Amino acid sequence: MVVMETDAVSLTAVTKSFGAVRAVDGLTLTIPRGSTVALLGPNGAGKSTTIGMLLGLIPPDSGKAALFGLDPGQAVRRGLAGAMPQEGGLIPRVTIGELLTFLAGTYPAPLPLDQVLALAQMTGLRNRRVDKLSGGQAQRVRFAMALIGDPGLIVLDEPTAALDVEARREFWNGMRTLAGRGKTILFSTHHLGEADEQADRFVVIDRGRVVADGTSTEIKKIVALTTVSVTAPAEVGWLGDLPGVRRMEVRGDRAHLRSADPDATVMALAEAGAVRNLEVAPAGLEDAFVALTSKETV
Ligand SMILES: Nc1ncnc2c1ncn2[C@@H]1O[C@H](COP(=O)(O)OP(=O)(O)OP(=O)(O)O)[C@@H](O)[C@H]1O
Ligand SMILES: [Mg+2]
């Protein structure tokens, strides 16, 4: 077997274009084993293309992808990486139990069926036909398909998109069990709150490039600027030069200062006698995300 000392995921300057569209543009990403990483980015940012390349489904135009130091296709065939297809992949007319048993037979060291069914919250659905499932149930079957080979790396492209609130909660319980067993998990999502709760690390991509990479706190700190606003004084130009202020905007009779250091900004406003109808609004991951991926720079 492979010596498991290497990183779970290693993408080095991978690039992929579809015609004139550069979906992934020189992206480098390393994920050591054992972490849970959220891949975030607006529609069309290149998340699915990145995932396709790291699973060996899409050949990069240039750069290199490796899983556990192996060629991605090889790693997937050995059961080292399990992926959840975004849609499709279900053979009609077989039961969930039959489908998973068949798949288990294709891996060297699969998980027992009962365990997979429990992790995917499907214990009662074993004999249900896969073409008679609701969207949320089908999604759980795909999740089970990702787990059956007992992979060290689990890659999920928008795994909770079709799940209701309760199913989503159960899904993440299953994921936390797996993370607790030392599995590496990479998932994409548009639910920032969910990402904030589940992931150790956030990789934000936009236009095919990594635009931020860190913990939730780090990402909020880098870009989530607090908004400090006051009634605009007669002369506003100097406000932009106050400590901490990255951007200044006047709307109506208010001056809005986006500040990386709101304490210092407010203090300086006070010293200048400009504190009038002061408002301070903190920013969250949502703001950070918008700031990172909007066209304007912060
Ligand atoms: N097979 C394809 N053929 C042509 N263009 C494609 C193909 N796959 C992706 N693209 C384009 O590449 C870009 C990145 O797409 P990708 O699916 O990777 O984005 P994404 O971040 O997963 O978006 P979403 O959040 O909507 O799922 C988009 O502009 C998309 O239109
Ligand atoms: Mg996608």
The verdict on residue 2 lying in a domain is: no
92 and 28 within one domain: yes
The verdict on residue 146 lying in a domain is: yes
259 and 164 within one domain: no
Neighbours of 80 (CB within 10 A): 24
For residue 156, pLDDT beyond 80: yes
Question: Dihedral of CA 170/172/175/179: which sign?
Answer: negative
**Which of 34-48, 81-95, 172-186 is predicted with the least confidence, judged by mean pLDDT?**
81-95
Average pLDDT over residues 168-180: 90
The verdict on residue 289 lying in a domain is: no
Atom 11, ligand 1: which residue's CA is nearest? 23
Q: Residues of the chain with pLDDT > 70: what percent? A: 94
44 CB under 6 A from ligand 1? Answer: yes
249 and 172 within one domain: no
Distance 45 CA to ligand 1 centre (A): 7
Distance 119 CA to ligand 1 centre (A): 30
List pLDDT tens digits, range 250-287: 999 999 998 989 999 999 999 999 999 999 987 777 77
Distance 11 CA to ligand 2 centre (A): 18
d(CA 219, CA 210): 13
Atom 28, ligand 1: which residue's CA is nearest? 44
Average pLDDT over residues 128-135: 86
156 and 74 within one domain: yes
138 and 87 within one domain: yes
210 and 128 within one domain: yes
Task: Select from 11, 39, 47 the residue to mutate for testing ligand 1; criterion: most ligand atoms less than 8 Å from CB.
Answer: 47
- Contact criterion met (CB below 8 Å) for 286 and 220: no
The verdict on residue 83 lying in a domain is: yes
Six token digits for residue 155: 């890659």
What local confidence, expressed as pLDDT, does residue 86 receive?
62
Query: Could you list the residue range(s) of the whole structural domain that residue 266 is in?
Result: 225-282
For residue 97, pLDDT beyond 80: yes
For residue 298, pLDDT beyond 50: no
Sheet order of strands, 245-251 included: 245-251, 254-259, 226-231, 279-281
Domain with residue 270: its CATH number is 3.30.70
The verdict on residue 114 lying in a domain is: yes
187 and 256 within one domain: no
The verdict on residue 291 lying in a domain is: no
Distance 188 CA to ligand 2 centre (A): 8
The larger pLDDT score, comparing residue 194 to residue 240, is at 240
The verdict on residue 296 lying in a domain is: no
144 and 117 within one domain: yes
The verdict on residue 288 lying in a domain is: no
The pLDDT mean for the chain works out to 89
165 and 21 within one domain: yes
Atom 26, ligand 1: which residue's CA is nearest? 43
184 and 250 within one domain: no
Domain with residue 54: its CATH number is 3.40.50.300
Which atom of ligand 1 is nearest to 158's Cα? 27
How many independent structural domains does the chain possess? 2
Which atom of ligand 1 is nearest to 50's Cα? 18
Amino acid of residue 64: K
41 CB under 6 A from ligand 1? Answer: yes
Atom 24, ligand 1: which residue's CA is nearest? 43
3-class DSSP assignment, residue 125: helix
249 and 211 within one domain: no
What local confidence, expressed as pLDDT, does residue 297 receive?
44
Q: DSSP letter at 129?
A: B
What local confidence, expressed as pLDDT, does residue 134 receive?
85
267 and 184 within one domain: no
Q: Which band of pLDDT confidence, cut at 50, 70 and 90, is reported for residue 170?
A: confident
Atom 1, ligand 1: which residue's CA is nearest? 18
49 CB under 6 A from ligand 1? Answer: yes
Six token digits for residue 157: 């492209």
